Structure 1
Amino acid sequence: MELMHRAMGFAALSLLTLVPLLIVVAAADLASGQGFARWLVQGLGVSEVSQEEVEQLFGKPGQALQRTTAFGLAALAAFGVTFGSAVQTGYERAWDLPTARWHTMWRHVVWLAVLVAALLLFVNAPQPEESSAPLTLLVALADLVGTFLFFWWSQRFLLCGRIRWRALMPGAVGTALGLLGLRVFSQFVFSPLIASNAVTYGQFGTVLVLQSWLVGVGFVVYGGALVGRLFHERRVMRRMDLEPLDWE
């Protein structure tokens, strides 16, 4: 129940603090030039019909840049940092660690910058319809490895090095595989829901599906870390049981 509660908080913070910042960053991405809607479509893996509904939900990339002031961009960055703080708190709860002190807030800024950079690499990768089958497989494998490395580093970095790299590896593997499974699930479930909800509820229906997808992302991010901790503890207990007792 707590995991679902934190996943819903993750989705709410994503929509209120992270998504507005990513909209501006995506609009400034001259390489793709298609805005945040394109980012979201790639993350969801939706069909062409649902893609049109997502694109209608967000304005044109040029409008986001024209209407964003320096103060507004600074405010968006500040709100985005609170998202990093929430992720840090979720990781600390998964490992039963005390809350980090205030002077570690710089880690939220660095983590947010790396997250944006990772998303830029993800959306600028060749798409399946634009590449051959071997290249598509290679890109998918690179996405999986990149996701694993990012969340492996994220746990270590946001937990301020209080947990060893080896202990964090199972959680990173679980998160990467979970996000891959969520993307496949989105193609079969969320993609049709976007099209049907758009007819029934209009653009608000698309927002509902987007929010549900973000809840799934939060569940995987926090759940992967929790499963990783349980796997690590079981592995340690098994190693202790196998070690011979020294009675001398």
Structure 2
Amino acid sequence: MVANQPVERPDSMDFLVNRIRQLEQKVAELTAQSKFPFSVSHGSTRDFSVLPSNSGDGSADLYMGNGAGGSLLEVYTDSTYHRKIATLRDMSGRIMLSTDAATGYGLGNPTLPYPYDGQEQIDLTGATSPGSAVEIGSGSNWPYNPALWVTPRVRTFSAANATVKMFAVFTAAGGTYTTGERTINITGGVVSISRPEFATYLAAGDIAAAVNVSFKVYCSAGTASGVTAQMWFWRGMGVSKGFVDQTLQGAL
């Protein structure tokens, strides 16, 4: 006890006020401290955790369980692209929703449809170069995936042998993306049915905004006169950049 300091009785008002202040200070100190790492479980089943990332990048991974030992929601560093992503899974462990790991924008899952439509039979007379190519189909949608993958069904015919070239032009807020050309060889007098494949990456500013596509064809060999082509929808969808990187490089 300090000399001349008033003695506080345990039941006095001053004692209670000072005690409350001490408790408030202690609570403030405790709440200011980091709770990382943090984990909650019932029995041996993990329910929720914020733990150091297994990637070793110094960040934290968030985990929310489904109550049955599986993952419901996770935020973690992707092992392939080393970028933070968020995933939502069903009770079977399948990813129902995720951000795109390769780009950091848009959806990696699910893939969303990209619609388009084709023209009736088009005469390719005069279409002998990319500059004079004619439109055989078109479409538009607001994609949420960072890449598009389209595979139309194309019917071509010529009385003589001919070679048709086809390409796709995607027009988005971030610019115009023209794919490589696909070759359709026609044997004279025989109808050719093909499914040329096209893909393009999208920029961050293209997500959730209108992206249009135009499919164009021209003849590069033989005569364009008497060559006809028509197109209709077969497959079109938004996909992850990783899917294009690993599977569809030849479609760009």
- TM-score greater than 0.5 by the shorter chain: no
Which structure shows the bigger proportion of residues in strand conformation? 2
Which structure shows the bigger proportion of residues in helix conformation? 1
Q: TM-score, normalised by structure 2?
A: 0.19
Greater RCO (Cα-Cα under 8 Å, separation 6 or more) = 1
Q: TM-score, normalised by structure 1?
A: 0.20
Asked which structure has the greater CA Rg, the reply is 2
